[in-house]
Amino acid sequence: MAFITISGFPSSGKSTRTHQIKAHLEAKIKNPEYSGPLKQVIVLSDDSLGISRTAYDDSRAEKPARGTLFTTLQRQMNTDTVLIVDSLNYIKGFRYQMYCAAREMKLRMCTVYVVATPELCHQWNLTRPDEQRYSDKTLNGLIMRYEEPSSMVRWDSPLFTVLWTEDGVPGDQIWDAITEGNVKPPNASTLQSIKAPSDALHCLEQTTTSVVSAAMTESQGFGGPVTLSVTPSLQLQINLPSRNITLSELQRYKRQFITIHKKAITLGSTEKGAVDWSEESVAHKFVTFLEEHLKA
């Protein structure tokens, strides 16, 4: 019935805040005055899944770890459960993917952004036992790559930000969000996820073409975040590197992206929620793909 995404820098206090939130929500559920459907709070974390901090040392090891997290969270989503996903959740495309899965299950949801300065993260990381510690290089890399949640986008909202200076968490507000907030029904974008392969291929081709032409329009060589107008109703942010990007380079990435995803479509990879061939989802995936490849 409810889904909470925790996000923040590595070693920023996410699990510490998760325990506070869990305790607060459990007290609400146990209150005799509560007669709603929620019965339990489950926390899914890298530790509970046996994902080591070293999985973040390189992106090849990180992808299967994210896959495990996503498959497990889909299994754990339930009408009587508050599911808290306590992980870095630093890629906006991944938070969007979780949002789509939660929405398909008609769950209420919110995001908690745990904030600590990079210096504090380093300091706290050093105090941890070896097996829970990130290497300096990995910690810095994750902080650099971190894509901050925004209350302006629907997959991060409602968004609660908890600063390192705060003693507690906004437990009552989180409770209201997951018990009284809007249930976002699967809309056209999520329903379209079960598309016939021919539609999916068409959408893949068209959407990637629109992203390439929007990126060419916005790319001035200055770098930084720019907004791409993919369609009149779909605007996405992309972080561009500060160099000239050529059309042939973008076309090359488009072809690579299509090749990878075409395979998934023709193989009929239809694991529930994991494959979403809507225009919006394809655009998000391609923007994330471009960001990763353009800065490499």
Smallest gap from residue 45 Cβ to ligand ATP (A): 7
State in angstroms the smallest separation of the CB of 61 from ligand ATP.
Answer: 15
Provide the mask over 88-107, with x wherever binding to ligand ATP is found by CB under 6 A and - wherever it is not.
x-------------------
Q: With CB under 6 A as the contact rule, which of the stretches 3-11, 225-233, 243-251, 276-284 interacts with ligand ATP?
A: 3-11
Which amino acid is located at 9 in the chain?
F
The token pair at 32 is 């005799």
Of 14 and 261, CB closest to ligand ATP: 14
Over the window 148 to 167, marking each residue x when it contacts ligand ATP by CB under 6 A and - when it does not, the resulting string is ----------------x---
Dihedral angle of Cα 76, 82, 87, 88, to the nearest 10 degrees: 130
Residue 14 C-beta-side C-alpha neighbours within 13 Å: 25
Tell me which DSSP letter residue 187 carries.
-
**240 phi, psi to nearest 5 deg:** -100, 145
Residue of 31, 35, 127, 233 that binds ligand ATP (CB under 6 A): 127
Total residues at the site for ligand ATP (CB under 6 A)?
15
Q: Identify which of residues 44 and 282 has a Cβ nearer to ligand ATP in the complex.
A: 44
Q: What are the residues whose beta carbons fall under 8 Å from the beta carbon of 103, sequence distance 6 or more?
A: 109, 184, 185, 186, 187, 190
Of residues 8, 149, 158, 273, which one binds ligand ATP by CB under 6 A?
Answer: 8
Hey, what long-range contacts does 50-55 have (CB within 8 A, 24 or more apart)?
52/131, 53/10, 53/131, 53/132, 53/133, 53/134, 53/138, 54/135, 54/138
Single-letter amino acid code for the residue at 134? Y
Piece of 124-132, 168-176, 221-229, 283-291 that binds ligand ATP (CB under 6 A): 124-132
Cβ 141 to ligand ATP shortest distance, Å:
13
Asked if residue 68 lies in contact with residue 49, where contact means CB atoms within 8 angstroms, the answer is yes
Burial class (CB in 10 A: 0-12, 13-18, 19+), 269: exposed
Region from 8-16, 97-105, 172-180, 184-192 binding ligand ATP, contact rule CB under 6 A: 8-16
Site string for ligand ATP, 187-226 (x = CB under 6 A): ----------------------------------------
Minimum Å gap between C-beta 92 and ligand ATP is 18
Question: How far from each other are the two terminal CA atoms of the chain, in whole angstroms?
Answer: 40
- What residues from 49 to 88 belong to the interface with ligand ATP (CB under 6 A)? 53, 88
For ligand ATP, the binding residues (CB under 6 A) are 8, 10-16, 46, 53, 88, 124, 127-128, 164
